[in-house]
Amino acid sequence: MPQEVYQHTFDNGLTLLAERMEHVRSAALNFLVPAGCAYDPEPHRSIASVLSDLITRGAGNRDSRELSLALDNLGMDRDESVGTLHTRFWGATLARNLPAALDIYADIIRRPHLPEEEIDAVKALALQDLQGLEDEPRHKVMIELRRLHYPPPLGQDRRGTEEGIASLTADVVRKHYRRLFTPRGTIVSVAGNIEWAALRDQIGRLFGDWTAPEPPTLTLGQTTTHRAHLEKETTQTQIGIAYPSVPITHPDYYAAIGAVNVLSGGMSARLFTEVREKRGLCYAVSASYSGFKERASVICYAGTTNERAQETLDVTLGELMRLQDGIEPEEVERVQAGLKSSLIMQEESTSSRAGTLASDWYYLGRVRSFDEIKSAIDGLTPGGITEHLRRYPAKGFTIVTLGPKALQTDE
């Protein structure tokens, strides 16, 4: 069945994307607003997270309870989340309820109450989220890894700091909202059993007259160190490793994805086999691809006992660097099977499609077809991935550990 993908950019800069999936009875909506935690000012770290909670506590002519009830009455499965560069609003419901849901989300995004009487409760939840990291050493080490690896403010974490949370008032949050919530750069994506013309007209009515200042630009700083140890008396050591890769816009992108999946694409992947199964060094080891528009990285994690932590780090680094020595045909076949399986499952999910429409448009300025992606996956070869790895070998490591004792790392 051919894809039906539509796109329209309104005069105010807001972009609408849609994919008609007439074989389903549901629809998913996705709003990407350029208001992620990288835009949190230094005195008010965590403001994006606080805003993402406060913004749903009343909007338009509904107070907080009425707003929640209206969405519940539509059977909405929904979420708000804060990423590095965007705040995301997501929802899925029956296709016939989509127009009513869009009306409500227009109120949330354009006419939130941001009530002063709710700010203390929202701040308390944000503080609990931040303090909960002390019980999540894996998350804590990976947050520090990203902070050191990426140039500031790209490495900022949405949870912010205790001082940042304490500094927030309703007035500060409202000013932040007015500065960042703008149509230019905002992407609305919808997937499901929809009619394009009616959807475009409704979004035009709801958002076409939305005006706001130009979104601010980010000025990137410089990274200063690529090694850190977080001392904590635990029975386990957490290890985070990051190194540069190529972004999604690069011709080698699919080869880079192939290489990461050779490392960590299942129980027969390199890291699981060599570090965990053969040597029994750790209970968890993985690698994943993480990207921005103009930079990307491979992010690795290993969790192990304190006694075997140094060996785990050494063997993991060795496997990362050894990858360029060659890829086996059966490894590529496994990677292709996994990537195609994910593609097929995404093809059947309205939520996945809505998210992919928005991310493709943000990163590429276009939407990739299934045929394009499938062709790229089919084109992966052992030689092609190996050539990529020799052009862009694993090096320039950022290494962060958490445990009772620092590990030896070469700068």
Instruction: With a cut of 80, say whether residue 410 has pLDDT above it.
Output: no
Alpha carbon of residue 357 to chain centroid: 14
- CA–CA gap between residue 241 and residue 407 (Å, rounded): 13
pLDDT for 291 equals 93
Instruction: With a cut of 70, say whether residue 411 has pLDDT above it.
Output: no
Q: Which residues sit opposite 227 in a β-bridge?
A: 399
Asked which of 26-35, 66-75, 211-220 is least confident by mean pLDDT, the reply is: 211-220
pLDDT for 81 equals 97
pLDDT for 105 equals 98
- CA–CA gap between residue 370 and residue 347 (Å, rounded): 8
pLDDT for 129 equals 97
Half-sphere exposure for 316 (CA within 13 Å, toward CB): 31
409 versus 50: the higher-pLDDT residue is 50
Domains of the chain as residue ranges with CATH: 5-207 (3.30.830.10), 227-403 (3.30.830.10)
Tens of pLDDT, residues 147-204: 999 999 999 999 999 999 999 999 999 999 999 999 999 999 999 999 999 999 999 9
Query: Beta 15-20 vs 4-9: how paired, if at all?
Result: antiparallel
pLDDT for 1 equals 62
The 3-class SS string of the chain reads CCCEEEEEECCCCCEEEEEECCCCCEEEEEEEECCCHHHCCHHHCCHHHHHHHHCCCCECCECHHHHHHHHHHCCCEEEEEECCCCEEEEEEEEHHHHHHHHHHHHHHHHCECCCHHHHHHHHHHHHHHHHHHHHCHHHHHHHHHHHHHCCCCCCCCCCCCHHHHHCCCHHHHHHHHHHHCCCCCCEEEEEECCCHHHHHHHHHHHHCCCCCCCCCCCCCCCCCCCEEEEECCCCEEEEEEEEEECCCCCCCHHHHHHHHHHHHCCCCCHHHHHHHHCCCCEEEEEEEEEECCCCEEEEEEEEEEHHHHHHHHHHHHHHHHHHHHCCCHHHHHHHHHHHHHHHHHHHCCHHHHHHHHHHHHHHHCCCCCHHHHHHHHHCCCHHHHHHHHHHCCCCCCEEEEEECCCCCCCC
Cis omega (within 30 of 0) for bond into 153: yes
Confidence class for position 214, pLDDT limits 50, 70, 90: confident
Please give the model's pTM, rounded to 2 decimal places.
Answer: 0.94
| Residues in CB range of 73: below 8 A, 6 or more apart | none
pLDDT for 345 equals 87
Mean of the pLDDT values across residues 130-145?
96
Query: Beta 26-33 vs 187-192: how paired, if at all?
Result: antiparallel
Mean of the pLDDT values across residues 283-295?
94
- Residue 286: both structure tokens together: 């993985």
Tens of pLDDT, residues 82-99: 999 999 999 999 999 999
Instruction: With a cut of 90, say whether residue 302 has pLDDT above it.
Output: yes
Instruction: With a cut of 70, say whether residue 222 has pLDDT above it.
Output: yes
pLDDT for 265 equals 79
Mean of the pLDDT values across residues 78-82?
97
- CA–CA gap between residue 220 and residue 39 (Å, rounded): 11
| Residues in CB range of 323: below 8 A, 6 or more apart | 259, 262, 263, 270, 389, 394
Angle at 178 between CA 172 and CA 181, to 5 degrees: 125
Mean of the pLDDT values across residues 374-384?
97
Instruction: With a cut of 90, say whether residue 346 has pLDDT above it.
Output: no
Residue 137: name the closest of 327, 360, 301 by CA.
Answer: 301
Mean of the pLDDT values across residues 305-314?
96
Residue 392: name the closest of 226, 245, 288, 242 by CA.
Answer: 245
Q: At what angle do helices 253-264 and 382-391 cross, to 10 degrees?
A: 100
107 versus 411: the higher-pLDDT residue is 107
CB atoms within 10 A of CB 326: 12
The whole-chain average pLDDT of the chain stands at 96
Given a contact cutoff of 8 angstroms between Cβ atoms, the answer to whether 398 and 273 are in contact is: no
pLDDT for 378 equals 97
Confidence class for position 212, pLDDT limits 50, 70, 90: confident
Instruction: With a cut of 90, say whether residue 391 has pLDDT above it.
Output: yes
